[in-house]
Amino acid sequence: MKLATAIIVDDERPARRELAYLLKVFPEIEIIGESDDISGAVDLIQKGKPDVVFLDIQLAGENGFELLERASGNFKVIFITAYDEYAIRAFEVNASDYLLKPVDPARLELSVRRIFGESELPVPKTSGFKYNDLLYVKQSNNTAKFIKLDSVVAIHPVGNYSKLVTKDGNGYLVLKTLKQWEEELPGKHFIRIHRSGIINLEFINKFEKYSGNSYRIHMLSIKEPLEVSRSSASKLKNLRRQK
């Protein structure tokens, strides 16, 4: 891992101290400054030109996204927050990663290794899910719940996360890639239709061909039709014939 400089932006001093402590295990990362507000962070970025900014989203009277509008530079951003409802917007502004508080040391290591181009940590092998299994998912305000796998209509990629959409229309962010889901989901019920997602065969409302050789699929609780690749369309037809 190459030598890199970093700043920490968080309005709570204990949170800054905790993150700085966790980052001590990476001798290649030098923390060159800390700030508790946007203005101070902008000054640090202009003067220090850090390689990475560890940024809280909810600052006192401010929003961490404002920093990206006011600061310029070639730096990576890792959002660190207690709230997971900002994850989709974080990846829309090209954040390198999104960590929830309290920060898990192993998750932080994975994030650091990813942004500096090192190989990812090994993904634990699993025996795969059963269709009636329960999934543990986090919600906002540090709450969590169990949802049934057979209630999941579709899974979409969101950076290093994925978004699960259930039949009641709710969405949940999970730290798992589409590739991992492909390896763990029961193939009898789930199929990847495109790079944009995986769908549950039980909740298909309509599967159609349109515009030449293009295909799309309409799913329960999802307003817009989803694109289907040509190879997935062929596989999907075979699976539906078998059902």
What string of pLDDT tens digits covers the 243 residues of the chain? 458 999 999 999 999 999 999 999 888 899 999 999 999 999 999 999 999 999 999 898 899 999 998 998 889 999 998 877 777 778 778 888 888 888 888 888 888 887 776 544 344 444 578 898 888 776 655 566 778 999 999 999 988 789 999 999 999 888 888 988 998 899 889 999 988 799 999 999 999 888 777 889 999 999 999 999 888 888 877 766 665
Note the pLDDT of residue 140.
Answer: 57
Q: Report the distance separating Cα 52 and Cα 33, nearest Å.
A: 11
**Bridge partners, residue 227, by sequence:** 216
Note the pLDDT of residue 175.
Answer: 80
- Contacts (Cβ under 8 Å, ≥6 apart) of 212: none
- Domain architecture of the chain: domains with CATH: 4-115 (3.40.50.2300), 134-242 (2.40.50.1020)
149 touches 168 (CB < 8 A): no
Separation in Å, CA 231 to CA 49, 177, 201, 214, 238: 46, 21, 16, 11, 11
Joined together, the tokens standing for residue 199 give 């769908």
Closest CA to 176 of 75, 107, 77, 105: 107
Strands 76-81 and 144-148: unpaired
Note the pLDDT of residue 159.
Answer: 80
Q: Report the distance separating Cα 37 and Cα 79, nearest Å.
A: 14
The type of residue at 137 is V
240 touches 191 (CB < 8 A): no
Joined together, the tokens standing for residue 145 give 């719940």
Q: What is the pTM of this model?
A: 0.58
Joined together, the tokens standing for residue 194 give 């495109």
Q: How many C-beta atoms lie closer than 10 Å to residue 37's C-beta?
A: 15
End-to-end CA distance of the chain: 50
Note the pLDDT of residue 124.
Answer: 41
Q: Report the distance separating Cα 31 and Cα 109, nearest Å.
A: 16
Joined together, the tokens standing for residue 30 give 């030098």
Separation in Å, CA 112 to CA 52, 87, 109, 120, 139: 10, 18, 5, 10, 25
173 alpha carbon, distance to own chain's centre: 7
Note the pLDDT of residue 240.
Answer: 60
Q: Report the distance separating Cα 153 and Cα 198, nearest Å.
A: 9
